[in-house]
């Protein structure tokens, strides 16, 4: 959520910054509401000051006359009641304004970082670096072809259980998924992250706090009889874990890692990646999440990205780092680095992690602060996949495929998976 003061005092600057996202934003109505609120705040403050002065006069009059019910005292009390009535009326108007302002500002995305590349869409994203040697040869199989030949998953039978774009992992496929989750959690906890396993169902307030609601309600699955949604990403419950808290600054930075199932409708993506593990309604992910002081979030952004990169390096999967342009930024992000893993069957890189610095955007929506320099200050939050499990599996299958139809498992996974190769093992 953007700062009301910033909108009230610098609306043109806010509009210009938001326009870098490739859309025109008119915040004049919101600014007008914030100006009205400011005027009401002044009125309430003035009335409260007058009411305090009047209370002193009443005390002085009673002390002087020794009479609690004199005409003078009663007149002062009547005036005091009028002040309280006016204050109550202004406070009610303020509550209504606060709600209207909150609802309007909740629809505004975060301001893009001045360091983010300016651009309209993903074609303007900037490649920062590459790592590893992409596997390039002819007649390579896709990961879904490999998975089907090795009996690692079944998408056809899964439609009987639920619907399309769900998948059932079988045999070694399920074992590899479990191995990847444990490997990633162990890597990150050794790197100073505290492991959490949050609920998979989250309430509306949690989704609003992280920026998923109200804008992305069509992307999530909702339980019709409860105020609960299937979590689209562990970013949601991890943000909400400290909602409405004043965090001890001695605890900062707080670094969490969480494995969680994620559920997304993938609205608007029909016809894209309909096969395999790339775009499913349900998938597993290991999420990294930071709460830190505002002055340290730029360095934290580099570190959380590096921590996600370390998984790809350990698995020896070629990837590239991309600086996301202003027009392609996520709703809550001020700046994002994407990690894209090499998928040799399609001869291209595909996103496997987005590492974002949200500044105080989520903390302001969720009221998460800490006392910094003797002042209650909204913290900065950062998040990044460390990594998306299904896409990691797809990359391992494609990059590790052998001429005999088997798949070589990265050395770092052998202690978790138990062997070096996938081989065809019929169920």
pLDDT tens-digit series, residues 125-137: 999 999 999 999 8
Q: Is the pLDDT of residue 67 over 90?
A: no
280 pLDDT tier (thresholds 50, 70, 90): very high
- Strand ranges, E, within 208-345: 222-223, 228-230, 245-247, 254-263, 282-292, 319-323, 335-343
Q: Give the CA radius of gyration of the chain.
A: 28
Residues 6+ apart with CB under 8 A from 271: none
Residue 250 contacts residue 216 (beta carbons within 8 Å)? no
Alpha helices in 66-171 (DSSP H): 71-105, 143-149, 156-161
Q: How far apart are CA 141 and CA 403, in angstroms?
A: 10
Cβ-contact 323, 308 below 8 angstroms: no
Q: What is the pLDDT of residues 399-420, one digit of tens each?
A: 999 999 999 999 999 999 999 8
Separation of alpha carbons 307 and 305, rounded Å: 5
> What is residue 72's predicted lDDT score, i.e. its pLDDT?
77
Whether the Cβ atoms of residue 249 and residue 218 lie closer than 8 Å to each other = no
Mean pLDDT for 262-290 is 86
Rounded distance between C-alpha atoms, residue 420 and residue 427, angstroms: 20
For residue 243, what are the contacts with CB-CB under 8 A and spacing of at least 6? Answer: 205, 206, 209, 366, 367, 368
Please say whether the beta carbons of 76 and 51 come within 8 A.
no
Mean pLDDT for the stretch of residues 175-199:
98
d(CA 368, CA 23): 29
* List of domains in the chain: 4-105 (1.10.287.40), 122-422 (3.30.930.10)
Strands 194-196 and 254-263: parallel
CA atoms of 202 and 70, how far apart (whole Å): 60
Q: Is the pLDDT assigned to residue 270 strictly greater than 70?
A: no
- The CB-based long-range contact list for 224-227 (8 Å cut-off, 24+ gap) reads 227/203
| pLDDT beyond 70 at 427 | no
pLDDT recorded at residue 359? 98
What's the predicted TM-score (pTM) here? 0.92
203 contacts 229 by C-beta, under 8 angstroms: yes
pLDDT digits (tens, 9 = 90+) for 89-136: 999 999 999 999 999 999 999 999 999 999 999 999 999 999 999 999
CA 312 to chain centre: 22
The distance from CA 55 to its chain's CA centroid, rounded to whole angstroms, is 49
Output the pLDDT for position 139. Answer: 87
Mean pLDDT over residues 286-307, rounded? 98
Q: Does residue 65 have a pLDDT over 90?
A: no
pLDDT category at 337 given cuts 50, 70, 90 is very high
Please name the residues in contact with 297: beta carbons below 8 A apart, sequence gap of 6 or more: 357, 359, 380, 382
Confidence of residue 425 (pLDDT cuts 50, 70, 90): very low
Of the listed ranges 54-58, 133-137, 419-423, the one predicted with least confidence: 419-423
Residue 11 token pair = 């609306």
Say what the pLDDT of residue 339 is: 98
Give phi and psi for 32, each to the nearest 5. Answer: -60, -40
Rounded to an integer, the average pLDDT of 309-332 is 98
Please report the pLDDT score of residue 161 as a whole number.
95
Mean pLDDT of 371-388: 97
Q: Among residues of the chain, what percentage have pLDDT more than 90? A: 85
Please say if the pLDDT value at position 203 is more than 90.
Answer: yes
Question: In the sheet where 228-230 sits, what is the strand order?
Answer: 201-202, 228-230, 222-223
Worst-scoring range by mean pLDDT, 47-56, 241-250, 292-301? 47-56
Q: Is the pLDDT at 309 greater than 60, yes or no?
A: yes
Mean pLDDT over each residue of the chain, to the nearest integer: 94
- What pLDDT is recorded for position 269? 59
């Amino acid at each position: 959520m953007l700062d009301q003061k910033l909108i009230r005092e610098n609306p043109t600057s806010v509009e210009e910054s938001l326009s870098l996202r490739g859309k025109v934003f008119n915040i004049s109505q919101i600014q007008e509401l914030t100006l009205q609120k400011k005027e009401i705040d002044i009125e309430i403050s003035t009335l409260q000051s007058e009411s305090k002065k009047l209370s002193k006069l009443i005390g002085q009059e009673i002390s002087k006359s020794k009479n609690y019910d004199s005409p003078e005292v009663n007149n002062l009390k009547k005036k005091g009641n009028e002040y309280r009535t006016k204050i109550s009326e202004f406070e009610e108007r303020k509550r209504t304004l606060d709600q209207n302002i909150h609802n309007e500002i909740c629809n505004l995305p975060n301001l893009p970082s001045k360091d983010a590349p300016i651009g309209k869409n993903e074609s303007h994203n900037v490649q920062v670096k590459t790592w590893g040697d992409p596997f390039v040869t002819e007649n390579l199989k896709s990961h879904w072809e490999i998975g089907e030949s090795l009996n690692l998953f079944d998408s056809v039978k899964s439609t009987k259980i639920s619907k399309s774009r769900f998948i059932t992992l079988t045999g070694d496929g399920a074992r590899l998924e479990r191995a990847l989750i444990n490997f990633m959690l162990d890597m990150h906890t050794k790197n100073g992250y505290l492991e959490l396993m949050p609920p998979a169902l989250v309430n509306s307030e949690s989704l609003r706090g992280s920026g998923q609601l109200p804008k992305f309600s069509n992307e999530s699955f909702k339980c019709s009889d409860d105020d609960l949604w299937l979590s689209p990403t562990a970013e949601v419950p991890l943000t909400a874990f400290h909602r409405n808290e004043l965090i001890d600054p001695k605890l900062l930075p707080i670094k969490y890692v969480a494995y969680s199932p994620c559920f997304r409708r993938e609205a608007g993506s029909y016809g894209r990646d309909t096969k395999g593990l790339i775009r499913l309604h349900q998938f597993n992910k290991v999420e990294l999440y930071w709460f830190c002081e505002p002055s340290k979030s730029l360095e934290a952004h580099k570190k959380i990205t590096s921590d996600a990169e370390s998984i790809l390096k350990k698995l020896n999967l070629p990837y590239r780092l991309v600086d996301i342009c202003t027009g392609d930024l996520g709703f809550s992000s001020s700046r994002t680095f994407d990690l894209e893993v090499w998928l040799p069957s399609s001869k291209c890189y595909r996103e496997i992690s987005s590492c974002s610095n949200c500044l105080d955007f989520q903390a302001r929506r969720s009221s998460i602060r800490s006392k910094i320099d003797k002042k209650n200050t909204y913290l900065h939050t950062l998040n990044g996949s460390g990594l998306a499990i299904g896409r990691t599996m797809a990359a391992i299958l494609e990059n590790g495929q052998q001429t005999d139809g088997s798949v070589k498992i990265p050395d770092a996974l052998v202690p978790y998976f138990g062997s070096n190769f996938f081989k065809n093992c019929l169920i």
